[in-house]
């Protein structure tokens, strides 16, 4: 049975976007796509995306003509922010950060996007984050030392990556 997510309403209150998840017994075959819904009833719902990778954090631009969301597409090592023009066309990648990007928010003038990425402490730029990630992947041990709480958040262990806001 398909599951419908929360509805994000456009600034002009004419459109809504929601995710529709199609579960499968094999988790790798679960699909999640974005659907555009007319809140005035002037058009039937329209599927915007059609990929296996789930999209999250969909938000309308201030002029209601574009949609920003986070997903992992072909060729992406981590989740990135994509922008989809609602008048037609393909989604274009807006970020290319090694630690991934999530939770996009448009600047009020629509000329920039604010997003979150979890970065390594002490890393001054994306190249530093890349180097630290490679070093950790190549080491032969997987040890964590916690000196503060919490050490878990619901279903996953916390690590030393810290959320950081970028524009």
- Phi then psi for residue 58, to 5 deg, are -65, 130
Query: Is the per-residue pLDDT at 152 higher than 90?
Result: no
Look at the block and give the residue holding tokens 């920003």: 68
Q: What is the b/e burial string over 152-162, where b = at least 16 CB atoms within 10 angstroms of the residue's CB? A: eeeeeeeeebe
Torsion angle (degrees, nearest 10) of CA 156, 77, 47, 103 = 50
CATH architecture of the domain with residue range 3-119: 6 Propeller (2.120)
Q: Is 67 in contact with 81 (CB distance < 8 Å)? A: no
Would you state the pLDDT for residue 148? 75
Range with the poorest average pLDDT among 33-37, 66-70, 86-90, 105-109: 86-90
The stretch 55-78 carries a mean pLDDT of: 94
Domain ranges of the chain: 3-119
Local structure of 158: helix, strand or coil:
coil
The stretch 42-61 carries a mean pLDDT of: 91
Tell me the per-residue pLDDT of 88-131, one tens digit each, with 9 for 90 and over: 889 999 999 999 999 999 999 999 999 999 999 889 999 999 99
Count the Cβ atoms, other than its own, within 10 Å of residue 62: 16
119 burial class (0-12, 13-18, 19+ CB within 10 angstroms)?
Answer: buried
* Banded model confidence at residue 154, pLDDT cuts 50, 70, 90: confident
Share of the chain above pLDDT 90, in %: 64
The stretch 143-163 carries a mean pLDDT of: 79
The stretch 49-74 carries a mean pLDDT of: 93
pTM of the model: 0.87
DSSP state, residue 31: E
């Amino acid at each position: 049975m398909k599951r419908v997510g929360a509805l994000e309403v456009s600034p002009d209150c004419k459109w809504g976007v929601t995710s529709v998840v199609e579960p499968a017994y094999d988790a790798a075959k679960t699909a999640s796509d974005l659907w555009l819904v007319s809140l005035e009833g002037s058009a039937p719902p329209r599927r915007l995306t059609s990929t296996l990778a789930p999209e999250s954090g969909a938000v309308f631009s201030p002029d209601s003509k574009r949609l920003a969301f986070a997903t992992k597409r072909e060729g992406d090592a981590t989740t990135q922010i994509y922008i989809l023009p609602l008048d037609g066309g393909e989604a274009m990648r807006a970020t290319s950060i090694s630690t991934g990007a999530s939770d996009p928010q448009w600047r009020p003038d629509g000329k920039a996007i604010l997003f979150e990425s979890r970065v390594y402490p002490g890393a001054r730029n994306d190249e530093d984050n890349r180097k630290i990630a490679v070093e950790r992947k190549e080491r032969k041990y997987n040890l964590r030392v916690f000196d503060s709480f919490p050490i878990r958040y619901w279903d996953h262990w916390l690590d030393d990556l810290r959320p950081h806001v970028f524009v």
